[in-house]
Structure 1
Amino acid sequence: MPSPAPNWPFDIRRIPFFYGWVIWLVSTLGFLFSIPGQTMGMAVFTDALIDALGLTRTQLSMAYLIGTVGSALLLTRAGRWYDRWGGRTMTTLASLALALMLIYIAATAWLSEALGGSAPVGFILIMIGYFGVRFFGQGVLTSASRNVLLVWFEKRRGLVSSVRGIFVSLGFSLAPLGLAALILTWGWSGALMGLALACAGFAVFSYLLLRDSPASCGVLIDGATADDDTSESQTPPSTTLEDARRSPVFWIFALSLSIHALFGTAVTFHIISIFDGAGRTPEQAFAYFLPVAIAATSVNLLAGWLADSRRLKPFLVIMLGGFIMGAIGLLNLEADWGYWLLVAGFGGSGGLWSVISNLAFIRNFGPLHLGEISGLCTSIMVFASAIGPAMFSLGLDFFGTYAAAEYFCLLVLVLLLLAALVIPHRQEHLPQH
């Protein structure tokens, strides 16, 4: 797919306001249109797919695990494509590919029946579908939507990303209810077809409105003018993927973000069972998400504003400390203080996680290879999110409790906190105010 001219179909210099805000809008929508590839998006279709394909819940879960891990292995290469072709092309292609994979999943029941209707056939068909929506949705579309915004803002990059996070969190929270309503109205395959049509429409929208960078369009970052004293942005030197891999800074950020993906996904996946083991009801398990979302959104907005003028190391240390606090709360969930410690720890640290995932790699390694470097981190995170639920489930099978898996996550968090305190972050580039 050839990259369009930067000022096609219109010259953004004729727009009477900074075009970065249009990029912000498309970036936010990109996250929201990735919902069919996110865990909460596909989870709504679980029971319908079990019935349609004749699979057990464990078989479907394993297909999801294999598809997710497979997608993780290719995300670094997808980041390389982003660096070569830009956010405009990659967002468009990812949206179209996600639409096609949703159509494919909608047709899996028919395909399975045509191929004999056996469980192994259904398993392979849905595993391919899960690979596709996870790779193009959770992986490529999410990463491209995140990265394309970062090069348009520098002085308020953290705050702008955090405001986007508010809308994304709200959309992700409401998505299961909306998708369930679609299934009731159109059926599960009809709902998938509707989502595919919406993703295809977003592909056209992003192709028309997205632009890869301010420089390619003849404008300056942050909407500055040539007369501004601060118009010259001190762009940080860019690091190659190979050099980033050799940097302890990359690994402390990547592993810290990934333990959240592993731990958080596992707790969410098994939330009812975990709360039941602590003597709490399913209603209490579902109610847990509201105070966590409030804490995460509040911390995200505040930390995004503060991070624009401060180094990220303190935020990383506080995030890991908060997760440790949440893990202790989870191990004592039967007590009220344990419940609120879990809410405060996971909620507040989740807000910091969003800020760090947006800023860490462009600040430390520059914009030139951002897609490839952030793609490697995304690959690790997706892999971690895939094994988290299985690890907790196996822990329950072997020990009769989730405590062993929880203690393992707590140990990893403590080791990462110690490493974060020791590792220097000398190369981090702070925006000039």
Structure 2
Amino acid sequence: MSVPGQTMGMAVFTDPLMDAFDLSRTQLSTAYFFGTVGSAFFLTRGGRWFDRFGARTVIVGASLALGSALVFISLIDFAALPLAAATGAAVGWFSFPLIMLGYFGVRFAGQGILTSASRNVLLLWFERRRGLVSGMRGIFVSLGFSLAPLLLAFMIDGFGWRGALWVLAGVVGVLFAGFALLLVRDTPESCGLLPDGDSAEQAAASPTLRVVDRTLHQAAADPVFWIYSLALAVHSVFITAVTFHIVSVFEEAGRGRVEALGYFFPAAIVSTSVNLLVSWLADRHRLKPFLILMLSAFLVGTLGLYRLDATWGFWLMVLGLGSGGGLWGMLSNLSFVRFFGRRHLGEITGLNTSITVFASAIGPLLFSLGLDLFGSYRPAYALCAFVVAGLLVAAVVIRQPDPQVSS
């Protein structure tokens, strides 16, 4: 349900919005950049709402907010055109700040709050099976994200861009909000249950190690928080940039548009398969080896990008970035609850989401600047590889002790 707030969801509306709002591609991209960056500064507070008010309230509220933001975007031209006619100014002078505000709304409510809350509520309901449940969730998320652009394109063709936004607003802001209100419960304890559906006898027979709950301040003072947050953010910089410029990246390597778009299918298969496997394994093993594997996979993917002109380079890119993405999905789900506990999970993951969303905003811009300044994406690849290599060394060196157990 967060698709309208994700990059692949809003990207389908780019050309219709450019025409309707009298904005160039650069202007619309700039509005998206500032809307995304602006939303990142408020996501820690949004995580605090999760801890204070609970999953059901936050999911319902975020769904209503996302639906409202979609309706707002659909009405921007109705406000901008009369203002432009009355003042004699270009339509873009009025539509630009309005679409920037609309992008802020969908990114904050969709990619930020709704995504984090729907992930965190599962982590509160499961302990011994967290990895497996997160992996199963990842299958549905990957499937939804893969099909969403095509379905949205069909909706735009059938209902127009405005009608498509209204349909999405109805589905998210009415149907899903009602669904969440009826079915979502904050924690198993609030329903007189135990995590994993265990009875009191089962819980006593197979006790789960309980992590000492830590505050945001305590987590932010721990190097473990930063190595995981920065490693997850690097993925957002790299993958968002490659996805945003995928056709241009392949053209630089002498490959066409069809080959560029054909990259996503095998990469999605690799990512989903790896995510399910490592999520299952993570229930039984420490996370540090998976972090090292993820960063190593990103380096392999970078090498593939460097040699994308060769067939083996393409498959290195698929395997490296695909498997790295699968590992990223597991680590983004499990790392913070594993190390810092449940009580302040919303606030802690809110800070991580802020960092990740901010990183996703600067990735495409970084690659664009590299192309403008050097005439090639390779300097951007090199910079990303350098940062990933530094994080890989830190991941090996930094001690990541097993979670503490409360008495």
* Range class of TM-score, shorter chain: over 0.9
Q: Amino acid of the residue matched to residue 45 of structure 1? A: F
Q: 1:343 aligns to what? A: 318
Q: Percent identity?
A: 58
How far the C-alpha of 1:234 sits from its partner, in A, is 3.5
**Secondary structure at 1:115 match in 2:** helix
Q: 1:170 aligns to what? A: 143
How far the C-alpha of 1:404 sits from its partner, in A, is 0.8
Q: 1:159 aligns to what? A: 132
* Match 1:422 to one of 371, 375, 397: 397
Whole-angstrom distance in 2 between the partners of 1:133 and 1:372: 20
Q: 1:195 aligns to what? A: 168
Q: 1:280 aligns to what? A: 255
Q: Amino acid of the residue matched to residue 8 of structure 2? A: M
Q: 1:221 aligns to what? A: 195
* Match 1:82 to one of 41, 46, 50: 50
Alignment of 1:47-66 (within 5 A): 47-66=15-34
Q: 1:389 aligns to what? A: 364
How far the C-alpha of 1:339 sits from its partner, in A, is 0.9
Give yes or no for contact 1:363–1:429 (8 Å, CA) kept in 2.
no
Alignment of 1:8-19 (within 5 A): none
How far the C-alpha of 1:301 sits from its partner, in A, is 0.7
Alignment of 1:253-268 (within 5 A): 253-268=228-243
Alignment of 1:122-141 (within 5 A): 122-141=95-114
* Match 2:185 to one of 211, 214, 224: 211
Residue 179 of structure 1 pairs with residue 152 of structure 2:
yes
Alignment of 1:232-243 (within 5 A): 232-243=207-218
- State the superposition RMSD in angstroms: 1.0
Q: Amino acid of the residue matched to residue 124 of structure 1? A: P
Whole-angstrom distance in 2 between the partners of 1:168 and 1:193: 22
Q: Amino acid of the residue matched to residue 287 of structure 2? A: L
How far the C-alpha of 1:235 sits from its partner, in A, is 2.3
Whole-angstrom distance in 2 between the partners of 1:290 and 1:429: 41
1:261-316 per-residue CA deviation (whole Å, 9 max, x = no partner) reads 00000000000000000000100000000110010011011101111010000000
Whole-angstrom distance in 2 between the partners of 1:233 and 1:345: 34
How far the C-alpha of 1:118 sits from its partner, in A, is 2.2
Alignment of 1:18-29 (within 5 A): none
Q: 2:288 aligns to what? A: 313
**Secondary structure at 1:151 match in 2:** helix
Whole-angstrom distance in 1 between the partners of 2:206 and 2:393: 39
How far the C-alpha of 1:232 sits from its partner, in A, is 4.6
* Match 1:93 to one of 56, 61, 74: 61
**Secondary structure at 1:227 match in 2:** helix
Q: Amino acid of the residue matched to residue 379 of structure 1? A: S
How far the C-alpha of 1:120 sits from its partner, in A, is 1.7
Give yes or no for contact 1:96–1:203 (8 Å, CA) kept in 2.
yes
Give yes or no for contact 2:128–2:208 (8 Å, CA) kept in 1.
no
**Secondary structure at 2:403 match in 1:** coil
Whole-angstrom distance in 2 between the partners of 1:381 and 1:428: 24
Q: Amino acid of the residue matched to residue 401 of structure 1? A: S
How far the C-alpha of 1:114 sits from its partner, in A, is 2.2
Whole-angstrom distance in 1 between the partners of 2:104 and 2:293: 34
How far the C-alpha of 1:332 sits from its partner, in A, is 1.1
Whole-angstrom distance in 2 between the partners of 1:297 and 1:91: 25
Whole-angstrom distance in 2 between the partners of 1:226 and 1:193: 47
* TM score, norm. by length of structure 2: 0.96
How far the C-alpha of 1:230 sits from its partner, in A, is 3.4
Give yes or no for contact 1:224–1:230 (8 Å, CA) kept in 2.
no
Give yes or no for contact 1:108–1:125 (8 Å, CA) kept in 2.
yes
* Match 2:79 to one of 85, 108, 111: 111
Q: What residue ranges of structure 1 are gaps of 5+ in the alignment?
A: 1-32
Give yes or no for contact 2:63–2:177 (8 Å, CA) kept in 1.
yes
Q: 1:293 aligns to what? A: 268
Q: What residue ranges of structure 2 are gaps of 5+ in the alignment?
A: 85-89
Whole-angstrom distance in 2 between the partners of 1:118 and 1:227: 67
Give yes or no for contact 1:224–1:231 (8 Å, CA) kept in 2.
no
Whole-angstrom distance in 1 between the partners of 2:273 and 2:176: 29
* TM score, norm. by length of structure 1: 0.91
Residue 102 of structure 1 pairs with residue 70 of structure 2:
yes
Q: 2:35 aligns to what? A: 67
How far the C-alpha of 1:151 sits from its partner, in A, is 1.0
Give yes or no for contact 2:74–2:162 (8 Å, CA) kept in 1.
yes
1:163-194 per-residue CA deviation (whole Å, 9 max, x = no partner) reads 11001101100000000010111100000000
Moved over 4 A (4+): none
CA gap of 1:287–1:326, structure 2 versus 1, over 3 A, is same
How many matched pairs? 398
Whole-angstrom distance in 1 between the partners of 2:348 and 2:200: 31
Q: Amino acid of the residue matched to residue 314 of structure 1? A: P
1:103-150 per-residue CA deviation (whole Å, 9 max, x = no partner) reads 000101111112215212111010000000000000000000000010
1:372-417 per-residue CA deviation (whole Å, 9 max, x = no partner) reads 0000000000000000001100110010000111100000000000
Whole-angstrom distance in 2 between the partners of 1:416 and 1:225: 42
Give yes or no for contact 1:238–1:369 (8 Å, CA) kept in 2.
yes
